[in-house]
Amino acid sequence: MRSEAAPQLGGLERFASAGKGRGLRARRRFAVGELLLSCPAYVAVLTVSERGSHCDGCFARKEGLSKCGRCKQAFYCNVECQKEDWPMHKLECASMCTFGQNWQPSETVRLTARILAKQKTHPERTQSEKLLAVKEFESHLDKLDNEKRELIQNDIAALHHFYSKHLDYPDNAALVVLFAQVNCNGFTIEDEELSHLGSAIFPDVALMNHSCCPNVIVTYKGTLAEVRAVREIEPGEEIFSSYIDLLYPTEDRNDRLRDSYFFSCDCRECTTKEKDKEKLEICKLNDPPSAETVKDMIKYARNVIEEFRRAKHYKYILCLTLAPLVELLEICELSLDKMGAVFEDSNVYMLHMMYQAMGVCLYVQDWEGALCYGQKIIRPYSKHYPSYSLNVASMWLKLGRLYMALKNRTAGVKALKRAIAIMEVAHGKDHPYISEIKKELEDH
């Protein structure tokens, strides 16, 4: 029974979720595609690689942005966006001028600096905290291992190094708590193709618990988070989003949840593991591989995925030259050959490496190579992911744009329309991304 003191927002209320702590539940029925919640960012930071193509203030994608006259590294739509962002940008502006190319705090450090500044200038509850305040965030401090604590101390050192002005620092213990809270409650903002745009704090959205069978999806309109139903939700039902990529089998998902969020999921999907067999599909051979061979190949797949992530970080992000990109593609192709002796193409580990290979092809503008990988990915994606998945919409969108670039308009229109059908539910029919895609259809 709902406590009278429980915070409410529209047709939603905060409540004590059995075994999960705080949660969010519906007070009325919501239809598929209906907006449950909008939450402006408490603070947000645009990723450095998108500067010049997106506004640092509102994250709008535009040409002809105006740069900050001081640091010349931040870009804005207009004077209004610049003035609105100045209380946050001033934390970085002078430091960016001082350090130049050596100014490189992580997004977590940048986000935490802005939280500290915001808490000083807005000690009262903000429009982003109607249901949950930032200071209420769970830190899981008691569950941090030595490695995670060391990483936090590195972030604290970077905070002191890059933010010498405009910040009042709490003591080290309080900073450890704050960084732990940001690590557990931060959001990654992505565009329509799931490219990384930045990081943000959305307190009310953070109230939702996780399920691998989510009933809502979180999308972004600039620095505004929007939560929409992806299936019908009845009064009294808890609202669940997904914290992780749902492509992978149960064991992988829960490894990720335990490592990043310190819990295991007990949803229907994790209890029954009913999709695991399809996600780990083995080649249909006259002499099928032994259980030990399959186990070894899964271990190899997990290791090569981690190896690729490390290689991508150091070579693809820090040194964008042709040679490292060729190396990344070789890692993908070699692993696909090896795994293909045991796994079907629809196996999620095969799909993971195909997706990475597609990304490299896109970066070097090998449209035909990217299309070849995308065509292999899309059908298994549609089967493995939930309905109205952004991953599936993104893949249809990429395929549509590739078809158009390769002058196959018929296939391009079909793919783009499939993307729109998913995005109209996930993003809402009035989202700028959908208007842009419809314009692409008209222009072709």
Give the global pTM: 0.93
Are 194 and 394 in contact by the 8 Å Cβ rule? The answer is yes
pLDDT of residue 313: 54
pLDDT at residue 321 in the model: 52
| pLDDT recorded at residue 309 | 74
Q: What is the pLDDT, as a whole number, of residue 393?
A: 98
How confident is the model at residue 162, as a pLDDT? Answer: 95
pLDDT tens by residue, the chain, 444 residues: 344 456 778 899 999 999 999 999 999 999 999 999 999 999 999 999 999 999 999 999 999 999 999 999 999 999 999 999 999 999 999 999 999 989 999 999 999 999 999 999 999 999 999 999 999 999 999 999 999 999 999 999 999 999 977 788 999 999 999 999 999 999 999 999 999 999 999 999 999 999 999 999 999 999 999 999 999 999 999 999 999 999 999 999 999 999 999 999 999 999 999 999 999 999 988 888 999 999 999 999 999 888 877 765 544 444 445 557 778 888 899 999 999 999 999 999 999 999 999 999 998 899 999 999 999 999 999 999 999 999 999 999 999 999 999 999 999 999 999 999 999 999 999 999 999 999 999 987
Q: Which amino acid is at 346?
A: S
Across-strand partners of 44? 200
Identify the pLDDT of residue 5: 55
Joined together, the tokens standing for residue 248 give 């992978």
The CA distances from residue 293 to 290, 298, 350, in Å, are: 5, 9, 16
Cβ-Cβ contacts under 8 Å for 159 (sequence gap 6 or more)? 105, 109, 112, 113, 169, 175
Predicted pLDDT of residue 9: 81
Contacts of residue 260, defined as CB under 8 A and 6 or more positions apart, other chains included, come to 183, 184, 243, 244
Domains of the chain: residue spans and CATH: 1-41+202-242 (2.170.270.10), 244-276 (no CATH), 288-376 (1.25.40.10), 385-443 (1.25.40)
